[in-house]
Amino acid sequence: MQGAVARVFVVVAAAILNHPLLFPQENTTLPEQDEELMARMREHEEKLEMELAKLESEILELESKQEESTSRDAYMWYFWSSVSFVIFFVIEMCRVDLAETEIRNLEDEEDGGSITPRMMVLDKDILRNFCDKCSYSSAQENWKVREFVEGLADDLLESLRSVCDRDTDMEVGDFVGIGSMFESWKVCGPLVCDLMVPFSPPHPHFFQCQMWCSSDQIPLDMQGSGRIKATRFGENDEGCLCSAANMGDDMLCLLHSTADRQNASPNPDELLCLKNTDILSKDQVMKWFQISVTKAWGRISHKYDFQVLFRNLDAAGALKVRFRSGKVILLNLIPVVQLEDTDAYFVSHFPSGWDSPPDPFWPLSLAVYERNLLKYFAKRLPQDSCHSHCLQIAAFLNRKQTELTGKSFLSSYHLKTVLLHVLLSTKTTAWRAENMEHRLRDVLGLLHQSLLEKRLHHALVGNSKVPEVLQVPGVIRKAEPINLFRSLVLQRQLYAATVRHLQEILKNASIVIQEYVPRPSNDGFNLSLDEGFNC
């Protein structure tokens, strides 16, 4: 194409230069009547015109060929795009068919002998006896355990603060109790207390949280997580020259003290950040917390007549308190970072052993808001409300089935989430004690349906039904709902095992409950709940 254009340019230039009218007629000696010369000039001009026409035709042919090739390429692109679309569409349809097949297979299994929550055989008297006994025994014991754990945690954290350097180490705040033990629905052993321990960087630094729903730096597969950036006060202040300019000793900044400007920025390792970054590292935090708790216990261990052991080196603060009598209490101290001035916390790990996102992404915990939501309902439900008993029974059945068939994906947190959804969608008058059988079926029924759909949304994230009085942060209320069953969508074997686990729970529920309900006999009770619950 470029060669043809060059040839056209040469021909046109030659024609112009050889045209008789290009130059003025200065040579008066040339006879104007020389017909022979004029004939040769016209002949030469005709040849040039023919050559120009020939080149123009060649250019037109080249352009037409290029247009044909371009149209052919465009056609091929549209063709393969259509083929790709059809392939992906077929794949998606196959996935839908597989999902529907799985659901139909599950329904066929139910028709062939499996059980649904509506088909469960539940005796009201047995349920009432179960709840009466567990409410009395567990409430009394849980109150004593909480009192002991809170006292031990206070001493341990105070000792931890004393071994830390105030100028370079993290500052540790007061613990926050979460989980079933502090929500008053703990029913079976072992006795586990979960305490979140907030920490913050030394002055003049602070933590800046980046959430998955408000930052484009968080991957899409990290829903419910965030990153934490260690920032120095004044680094992001616009219009203040004290941190950007070399101010003299006689100059005073009303926003930042002289000490803040003179303090050199600490090494990122001292702020527990990833190497060569200002992003807080979970691994570094857990290592620091483990060492600090070990030193803190070493300073106060002589005051107590029991052993404190680290039961899991991969989870910082996972302690086991063993008394001389053989009784054991499990204590989880979880280092967390508070989300601004809210009751939401970024946790280093989940005490239940859930898979945690990779470093440096921190999962967000709304456990405090969930505890407050249960308190909110407790004040508005009937005095003899059965919502706590429904959760206790479901957690007890799940625990017993886990002992029989092994560890399952279903956890007590899933059960609590289901209960919160049922509470948010059911009238308060429907939770009287005489309706416990129906409400328990509702809880297990929603769990069963959510498992079939492989979708269980977080109770608070993106849920408009949550009362505004709880003051859940707006960014969380407006976020897209988080599917707690997302792992089941990607892992078919795990999903199948979870379905079988729930089927066994529903099938064995009445037998398991009857086994652990105290039955009168000549010598009193054949089996006490204290024995049955110490699983």
Task: Report pLDDT digits (tens) over 135-171.
Answer: 655 667 788 899 999 999 999 999 999 988 877 789 9
Res. 22: pLDDT tops 50: no
The count of structural domains within the chain is 1
Res. 118: pLDDT tops 90: no
Share of the chain above pLDDT 70, in %: 71
Share of the chain above pLDDT 90, in %: 46
Could you give the angle at which helices 412-425 and 436-453 cross, rounded to 10 degrees?
A: 110
pLDDT band at 510 (very low <50, low <70, confident <90, very high): confident
Q: Stretch 327-346: mean pLDDT, rounded?
A: 94
Between 69 and 400, name the one with better pLDDT: 400
Contact status, residue 370 vs residue 416, Cβ threshold 8 Å: yes
pLDDT given at position 323: 93
- 256 inside domain: no
Partners of residue 125 on adjacent β-strands: none
pLDDT given at position 417: 97
Residue-wise pLDDT tens digits, 58-108: 777 777 766 666 666 656 666 656 656 556 555 655 554 454 555 455 445
Res. 289: pLDDT tops 90: yes
Res. 109: pLDDT tops 80: no
- 81 inside domain: no
Rounded CA Rg of the chain: 38
pLDDT given at position 204: 84
Res. 361: pLDDT tops 90: yes
β-bridge pairing 524-525 and 362-365:
unpaired
Q: Stretch 14-42: mean pLDDT, rounded?
A: 54
Partners of residue 520 on adjacent β-strands: 525
pLDDT band at 342 (very low <50, low <70, confident <90, very high): very high
Looking at 203-252, which runs of residues are DSSP E strands? 205-211, 225-232
Res. 530: pLDDT tops 50: no
Question: CA 227 to CA 208: how far, in whole Å?
Answer: 8
Q: Stretch 438-461: mean pLDDT, rounded?
A: 95
- 464 inside domain: yes
- 255 inside domain: no
Instruction: Please spell the DSSP secondary structure of 235-258, one letter per residue.
Output: TT-TT--TTTS---TT---SSS-H
The pair of structure tokens assigned to 494 is 């795990």
- 39 inside domain: no
pLDDT given at position 446: 96
3-state secondary structure 262-324: HCCCCCCCCCCECCCCCEECHHHHHHHHHHHHHHHHHHHHHHCCCEEEECCCCCCCEEEEECC
Helix (H) or strand (E) holding 336: strand 328-338
The pair of structure tokens assigned to 437 is 């059988």
- 12 inside domain: no
- What lies within 8 Å, CB to CB, of 315 at 6+ separation is 286, 332, 349, 351
Among 152-166, 167-181, 249-263, 356-370, the least confident range: 249-263
pLDDT band at 410 (very low <50, low <70, confident <90, very high): very high
Res. 258: pLDDT tops 70: no
Q: Stretch 340-364: mean pLDDT, rounded?
A: 87
Contact status, residue 127 vs residue 437, Cβ threshold 8 Å: yes
- What lies within 8 Å, CB to CB, of 216 at 6+ separation is none
Question: CA 42 to CA 478: how far, in whole Å?
Answer: 84
- 15 inside domain: no
- Among 81-90, 227-236, 370-379, 503-512, the range with the most confident prediction by mean pLDDT is 370-379
pLDDT given at position 92: 52
pLDDT given at position 424: 97
- What lies within 8 Å, CB to CB, of 122 at 6+ separation is 437, 440, 441, 509, 510, 513
Contact status, residue 364 vs residue 342, Cβ threshold 8 Å: no
Average pLDDT of the chain to the nearest whole number: 79
pLDDT given at position 529: 41
Res. 310: pLDDT tops 60: yes
CATH of the domain at 459: 3.30.460.90
- Among 180-189, 211-220, 400-409, the range with the most confident prediction by mean pLDDT is 400-409
pLDDT given at position 110: 44
Structural domain for 495, as ranges: 117-245+266-533
pLDDT band at 297 (very low <50, low <70, confident <90, very high): very high
